[in-house]
Every structure is written in C-alpha cells, then in structure tokens.
Structure 1
Amino acid sequence: MEKGNIQQMDLIHFLMNLFSLLSYPLIMAPLYKKMLKVSAKDFQNLIDERGEVILNLLFRIG
C-alpha cells in the first residue's frame, strides 16, 4: 500500500477481499456449474485463470 501498488484500505478489508475472491467461487461451484451450464473441466479452467484475474483486480499491475 505504501508503494501505491494496492489501494489504501484497512489491512483487514484487504485480507477479507482476498480470501472472499479465492474461496467464494469454490464454495459456490455446484451452483455456478448448474446455473452457468459449465462443465467440471471448463469450471476448473476458470478457476485456474482466476489467480491472474484476482491479482489484476487487487494490485495495480502494469
């Protein structure tokens, strides 16, 4: 945060956001697969891509 790579916020909020972004899709996987009509393999591909999506969302990269 001091370097400006992360938006200024309370560390607790940052960690809650990070953990929510990581865990919520996994917890909701059965519903997402059914609702979005995504196969298990396609959903796994989405989860694999998610790391980069989260990094780009939380950190000012580039």
Structure 2
Amino acid sequence: MQEKRRLIFRSDDNKKDSPRDPLRDALRKSFEDSLKAPPSPRLEDLMAQLRTKERTTRPENSD
C-alpha cells in the first residue's frame, strides 16, 4: 500500500515533462509557505473564543 502511495505522490521519479508539474510544484510551495506563516489575528481570535467556550461547557459535561 505504501509503495502505491509513493508512486502516486513522488513526481520526481517521473521524468516526463507534463504541463501539470509546474502547477503542482507551485501549489506545493504555496502550501509549504502557508504552513510556515504565523496564524492570522482572526484565527487567533477564533481559537480564543473556542477555548473560552470549551471552558464554560466542560463542567456541564463532566457530570
């Protein structure tokens, strides 16, 4: 099963030049860059709201 995944996801083994490869590389780079970026203020605010909500509902669920 893992061999099959490697065949699907490893584009560097395939030496054919296809028009999708530059697009795939650009998408991969964009995704990797977004993972390195700090969280946005909106995301931080939403996470804070979620933590507050979890704290207020947790005592009710523990009974």
Return the TM-score normalized by structure 1.
0.34
RCO higher in structure (CA 8 A, sep ≥6): 1
More helix by share: 2
